[in-house]
Amino acid sequence: MPEIKKLLIANRGEIAMRVLRTATEMELPSATVFTEHDADMPHAQHDEAIQISDYLSFDEVLNAAKLSGANAIHPGYGFLAENPEFARSVEKAALIFVGPTAEAMDAVGDKSRARALAKSLDIPVADGVGPFSDPKEIAEAVRSLGAPVMLKASAGGGGKGMKRLFDFDDLDEIIASSQRETKAAFGDDRMIVERYINPARHIEVQVFGDGERCIALGERECSLQRRHQKILEESPSTAVDDDLRARLFDAARRICEAVGYRNAGTVEFLLSPQGEFYFLEVNARLQVEHPVTEMCTGMDLVALQLQIAQGGELPDQEELYSAGHAIEVRLNAEDPWNDYLPSAGKLLMLAWPQGELVRVDCGIGKSVGTQYDSLIAKVIAWAETRDEAIETMRGALEETHVLGLYTNQPLAHKILGEEWFRAGETFIDTIENWDIGARPVPEAFAPAAAAVFAGPTPAPPGVWAELGDWRLK
C-alpha cells in the first residue's frame, strides 16, 4: 500500500481538529475543508483550508483533495464516513480512504445485512426486518412486529431518524419525519424496524482490522442517551466482567473478520440485566467516544487508523492492555430544561478545565449555528478507579464555563452526582425516565446578574489587596 503523503480531513468541528492533531504530531501535511457556515470555526483556520458548499458532496471533497495535493482522505464520523459509494469514489480517484473498504462497509455498514451476518455466525441479534424505503412497507413492518419497536436508519447511526414506538399513533407522520432525518443525514432513506429490548445497556467494542485479522481494544458503555444520542460514555462498563468481556470481544472480532474488516470499527450490542447480549450494528468508522478507549489503552486511534491505511502492522491482541477508568461527557448546545431543544447563539465565554488526566476535544468558533449537529466539545477524564474518574470529571465540569447558549453541562454534572450513576445503574431509558427537576440555579446567581447589569465595579486598590489572586487561570 502506498504511503500517505498528505491528508485531507473531510469533516468539521471537534473531529476535524482531533484528526488534525494526530496528523500534525506525525508531521503529516494536511488540508481541511469548510463551508460558509463554518468560516469562523477552528478547522477553517488551518493553513490549508478549502471552502466547499457541502460536507456531503463527493465531487467537492474529491476536488479539494486534488487541489491540495492530498493522496488520502480521513472522513471523521458522520457525513461521508460510512458511505461505501464515497469510499469507492476515493479509491477510483487513486486516493487512500482512511477507513474500511467499500466492500466491508457494504457488508456491515448496512444494518440489515450486518444482522444477517451475525445470525449466520450464531451471534444473537434482536428481531428485526428491513430495510424498506416505501413508507407503506415500513408501517406494515411496524404493525406486524408489534409494539414496542425501534425505527432506525439503515445507513447510519447517531440517532438520526431513530424513533421508539410504544404505540402506533401518528405512525405515518413519525415515519415521514424519520425518513426525512435519515435522508438529510445520510442521503439514503431506507429504514429498518427492530424489536425494542428493554431495559438494556448499550455496550460497544472498539475493533481494528487489517483486512484479515481483527483485534478488540476494549468495551465502552454508552447507555446514557437522550433522543437516542449518547451523552456520557465510559470504559470499562460496570456490567461487564472478564468472562462477558471475552465473549463480547470474540463476537465483535468474528463479525469483522468474516467481512475482511480493515481499519477502525465499533461493534454495538444491547446487554440485558441478565447478561444476555444482542448484536445491534457495526459502526464502520472512528466514533465520537473513541477518546474513552484512548485514555484506557494509551493508544492514539487516529494514528493507528493512518498506520493501517498505509498497510502498517496491526498490534497483536496479546500486546494490548486497558487500565483505569475513563468517562466522556459530550457537551451539546441544547437545553435539558427545555425539552433538550437546540440552543444556538454567540459564544460569549469559553473556558476549559486543565489537568493531566482531563482531555478536552473541541472545535467551535465564535457562535453555534443550527446547520450542523449540536456537539460542541467532549470532556474526557481518566483515573485509576471509577469513583475517582467520577470525581475528576465533576471537578473538570466545575472548571468549565460555556456562556452565551445553553449546554447540557449542568445535567452531566448532576448525573455524575446521582446515587444510581455511582452504583452503575445505567440503562438506555434511564435519562428519559429520570426526573431532572428544575434547572439548578445557586442563590448567588440572581444578585450576580443584577450586579452585572449594574456594570463593572470600579477597582479600589484596597479590595484587590484583600482578595489576592482572584483571576481564573
Partner 1 sequence: MAPEAIVNPDGSMWVQTGAGFQELMYARDGLNVWISAGAKVAKFSLAEGASEDAGKEAVAPMTGKVVSIPVSVGDNVSEGDTLAVLEAMKMEYRLEAEADGEVSAINAEVGDLVDLGHVLVRLK
Give residues in contact with partner 1 (CB under 8 A).
159-160, 170, 173, 176-177, 180-181, 184-185, 227, 333, 338, 341-344, 346, 348-349, 351, 369-374, 394, 397-398, 400-404, 406-407, 409-410, 412-413, 439-457, 463, 466-467, 470-472
Percent of the chain as helix, strand, coil, to the nearest 5: 35, 25, 40
Cα separation, 201 vs 295, in Å, equals: 22
Contact predicate 412/231, CB 8 Å: yes
Q: Which is nearer to partner 1, 209 or 363 (CB)?
A: 363
Q: How far is the CB of 456 from partner 1 (least distance, A)?
A: 5
Q: Which is nearer to partner 1, 223 or 407 (CB)?
A: 407
How many other CB atoms sit within 10 Å of the CB of residue 46? Answer: 18
Q: Which is nearer to partner 1, 5 or 422 (CB)?
A: 422
| Sequence-ordered list of residues with C-beta below 8 angstroms from that of 333, at least 6 positions apart, any chain | 342, 343, 344, 368, 374, 375, 376, 405, 406, 407
Cα separation, 38 vs 24, in Å, equals: 21
Contact predicate 274/233, CB 8 Å: no
The three grid cell numbers given for residue 119, joined into one nine-digit string? 445470525
Quickly list H helices, 379-442: 386-398, 409-417, 419-422
- Cα radius of gyration (the chain): 23
Q: Which is nearer to partner 1, 164 or 247 (CB)?
A: 164
Contacts of 245-251 with CB under 8 Å at 24 or more apart are 245/219, 247/277, 248/203, 248/205, 248/216, 248/219, 248/277, 249/205, 249/216, 249/219, 251/118, 251/121, 251/123, 251/205, 251/277, 251/279
Q: How far is the CB of 213 from partner 1 (least distance, A)?
A: 36
Q: How far is the CB of 399 from partner 1 (least distance, A)?
A: 9
* β-pair partners for 164: 150
Q: Closest Cα to residue 353, out of 400, 409, 413, 408?
A: 400
Sole residue written with cell 435522508: 183
- Does the N-terminal peptide bond of residue 236 adopt cis geometry, omega within 30 degrees of 0? yes
Cα separation, 230 vs 224, in Å, equals: 6
Q: Which is nearer to partner 1, 369 or 424 (CB)?
A: 369
> DSSP letter at 338?
G
Q: Which is nearer to partner 1, 122 or 466 (CB)?
A: 466
Q: How far is the CB of 2 from partner 1 (least distance, A)?
A: 35
The three grid cell numbers given for residue 419, joined into one nine-digit string? 446515587
Q: How far is the CB of 429 from partner 1 (least distance, A)?
A: 19
Q: Which is nearer to partner 1, 246 or 449 (CB)?
A: 449
The three grid cell numbers given for residue 260, joined into one nine-digit string? 475482511
Active site residue 330: no
Cα separation, 217 vs 301, in Å, equals: 10
Amino acid at 112: S
Q: Which is nearer to partner 1, 168 or 372 (CB)?
A: 372
Of 262, 285, 330, 359, which is the active-site residue? 285
> DSSP letter at 45?
G
Q: Which is nearer to partner 1, 266 or 409 (CB)?
A: 409
The three grid cell numbers given for residue 453, joined into one nine-digit string? 447589569
Q: How far is the CB of 121 from partner 1 (least distance, A)?
A: 33
Contact predicate 4/28, CB 8 Å: yes
> Which residues form the catalytic set?
285
